[in-house]
Amino acid sequence: MTLKYDIGKVLFSQEKIASRVTELAAQIAKDLAPGRELLVVGILNGAVFFLTDLVRSMPRDLDVRIDFMSVSSYGNETSSSGVVRILRDLGSDIEGLDVLLVEDIIDTGLTLSYLLEFLQTRRPASLKTCVLLDKNVRRMVPVAVDYCGFAIPDAFVVGYGLDYAGKWRHLPDIHDVEISKA
């Protein structure tokens, strides 16, 4: 049996996403200690759109740097394998820095939990998390999320950086994915 994947209904519109990202950026800027530099670490590839809009929404006087990591736990599947592999590590030292880890979605919590433990060994001054989407119903390990865009039901979603097998990242809205038998 072959499964067919199609774009479903819009869960979050481009306008709703933009509004929420602006709110998150304001809260992050407010919570950052005055005079501190913030290193924003995006998890490739899914968080690129979110991270870009998030840092562009931050006040101009905020001292912000950006770095990226690439990890894999999904491959071409619609659920996490539970095995996290680091494909690209940070390009900079984070010791003594305030670090904000930005992820597109958290579901099982395995990837984010692994990354937090991994980065904590590098002794940042602070390490906080910001996720666009929280699929809490699938959580397997507890993970503290400091900033969250939206809670979502147990649906596979695409758009605004989220993909299925590399497709549909470019969509400006977030859609659920309809799976049917072909």
CB contact burial 129-151 (16+ within 10 A = b; e otherwise): bbbbbbbeeeeeeebebbbbbbe
Query: Which parts of 32-126 fold into alpha helices (H)?
Result: 48-56, 110-120
Question: Are the C-beta atoms of residues 79 and 110 closer than 8 Å to each other?
Answer: no
DSSP 18-34: HHHHHHHHHHHHHHSPT
User: 50 φ, ψ to 5°?
Assistant: -60, -50
**Catalytic residue (choose from 53, 98, 104, 107):** 107
Question: Are the C-beta atoms of residues 44 and 162 closer than 8 Å to each other?
Answer: no
Cα gap 144→116, rounded to integer Å: 10
Active site residue 107: yes
* Angle 151-26-14 from CA coordinates, rounded to 5°: 50
Residues identified as active-site: 107
